[in-house]
Chains A and B, each alone.
Chain A
Amino acid sequence: MALWVVVAAQSTAHAQPAPNCDQLQAQIAELVKQQGPTATAKQQLDAAAGAVVRARDARAAGDSEHGIELEALAADYVATARMVMHAASLEAQLIALQSKQTEIETIQRQTETLLEATIAQRERTKAALQQALELQQAKKTASAKVEPAKNKKGVKK
């Protein structure tokens, strides 16, 4: 039994480091950092990390065939995590854009109301101007009528 433990330990110590595993590990760490506290792709990244551990173990046990398959599985999960994060980022953009659209629609409704009010005000002012012009015209006509009358009186004198 003791001999088996020693042999196993030596076999692990001399096992080739898995370059793919290291790269995958780095990619996973980078994605964990990128996703931040929202952890949108936590499930996929956990699965990828689990697959990397299994791949390391398989390689350490000299089972490179399954080690390669497990690395491919980890790579699949890393790709999935990337896509999930991309989808989440696009969805956030969509929400922001929808909110902007709502904001524009609100401003549009307010501006339309203001436009209607201003048009009404303009029409009132037009009417006031028309009234002022008519009044002025009426005064001019009245004074024109008064002048000849005054002149006639002068002639009589």
Chain B
Amino acid sequence: MSPLHSRPASVSRRTSLTFAIAIVFAVACASPQRPAVLTQVDATRQTSATLQAAEFAPQSYAQAEQHRAAAERQWKDGKVASSQIAAERALAGYEQTQAAARIARTERQLAKTQQQVDESQRSLGEIQAKLKLVATEQADLETQVKIEQDAEALAAPKPASAEREAARRETSRALCSQARLLCASARLLGAPAESLDQKFSGLDALDDQLKQARVPAPIDVAIRMRAECLHELTLVRRANVMAQPQGTTGDELFVKLSTARLTPSRDDRGVSVTFFNAFAANGLAPSASEAIRQLGPIIKAYPDVPLLVAVHAASANQPNDEARGRAAVEALKQLGAAKTDVRLVGDRLPLLDPHKAAAPEPRNDRLEVVFVIRSN
């Protein structure tokens, strides 16, 4: 063995001890391992989601960045636990930034969508108004076509069998009454008095002809008279419809009367309600008075809607029809009706065939209250 290789045992022990001490010092003085959460913070702040969110919520992002900086500082200062907590707060901060960005983005979209909804609703309203106007014009034109067709001079009827003549007379009487009710409705809506007076005079003349039982029955004249009265009503309504194409008074009244279980119906005049067993002697039957009282709130809700009262009788020449009509109008006025007119129809517009039974049919004895709509 060479002298180089033959070291004394004491030297070898000293070397080992020195090496061990160096290792212990190296381990003791080495900086602690960087917490994993700090690495996670570094990764999170670089994600596109966080960077995009920072643009929407810069304050939240700045706060998170402060926590991150504090975490780095504390780790360098050797405060490992505090550094870890600060890093976690930074992570929470980045999440908060993303949530704030979500809120900001959604609020912007909400505002934009709300604007679109408002715009669409406005546009829809305009289209609906236009549709209503065009539909009204269309209905008006259809009525005009109908009127022109009805008013077209019919070939004068030729005398027919006695039975057929009686049927023509009855139909003519019914048409004459319908014409009167239509003209009365037009008057309630403010149609020119002059024109209406002419129509009523014509109807009086027609009634005289019908009383005389002339052959052939003037059914052509009756049809024309009815068409003319409907024309008057259409004319007076047209201005109202054009001024307020979205008017829904008729529909509202129909719904309210239906809700009150008054079984309304609609026709050219407006919305009508019929009361059966309405009369007792010269006035209204108590049950009818009670039923009519239900109209009170509806009449008050539509003060500008005039009321046409039609008194129908089961048989001709009932002497107390006029008193009955007056009583009905009085009751309606007490309920708040501002504008009314009463017409005595007699037995001209029966619901049930009066000839089928020996005695007058009681259901033909009735009171009709018509809400004359301005824009039917």
Contacts and interface: CB of A to CB of B under 8 A. Distances in A.
24 contacts: A44-B92, A69-B86, A76-B89, A76-B92, A76-B93, A76-B96, A80-B95, A80-B96, A87-B103, A87-B106, A90-B110, A94-B106, A97-B113, A97-B117, A101-B120, A104-B124, A105-B120, A115-B127, A115-B131, A118-B131, A118-B138, A122-B138, A132-B148, A133-B148
Contacts of A112: 127
A66 B356 CA distance: 104
Q: Is the interface of A mostly helix, strand, loop or mixed?
A: helix
Interface string A68-107: 0110110011011001101100110110011011001101
Given A66-B85, A125-B141, A80 B106 contact: no
A80 B117 contact: no
B351 interface: no
A119 B134 CA distance: 6
Contact of A108 (B114, B120, B137): B120
Interface of B: 81-82, 85-86, 88-89, 92-93, 95-96, 99-100, 102-103, 106-107, 109-110, 113-114, 116-117, 120-121, 123-124, 127-128, 130-131, 134-135, 137-138, 141-142, 144-145, 148-149, 151-153
A91 B102 contact: yes
A47 B96 CA distance: 13
A115 B136 CA distance: 12
A80 B100 CA distance: 9
Contacts of A77: 92
Contacts of A69: 82, 85-86
Q: Is the interface of B mostly helix, strand, loop or mixed?
A: helix
Contacts of A83: 96, 99-100, 103
Contacts of A97: 110, 113-114, 117
A34 interface: no
A20 B81 CA distance: 20
A23 interface: no
A101 B117 CA distance: 5
Contacts of B95: 44, 80, 84
Contacts of B121: 104
Question: Which 8 residue pairs spanning A and B have beta carbons closest together?
Answer: A83-B99, A87-B102, A76-B92, A90-B106, A125-B141, A122-B138, A132-B148, A69-B85
Given A112-B127, A125-B141, A86 B114 contact: no
Contact of B124 (A79, A107, A125, A139): A107
A66 B85 CA distance: 8
Contact of A125 (B86, B117, B120, B138): B138
Residue among B81, B82, B92, B141 with max Cβ neighbours from chain A (10 Å): B92
A137 to B, nearest CB: 11
A118 B314 CA distance: 44
B141 A104 contact: no
Given A65-B82, A83-B100, A132-B148, 19 more contacts: A66-B82, A73-B88, A73-B89, A73-B92, A77-B92, A80-B96, A83-B96, A83-B99, A94-B109, A101-B116, A101-B120, A104-B121, A108-B123, A111-B128, A112-B127, A115-B127, A125-B138, A132-B145, A132-B149
A42 to B, nearest CB: 13
A108 B120 CA distance: 8
A121 interface: yes
A66 B138 CA distance: 82
Given A66-B82, A73-B85, A115 B134 contact: yes
B135 to A, nearest CB: 5
Contact of B148 (A111, A119, A126, A136): A136
Interface string A107-141: 11001101100110110011011001101100100
Contacts of B153: 139
A119 B136 CA distance: 11
A94 B110 contact: yes
Contacts of A84: 95, 99, 102
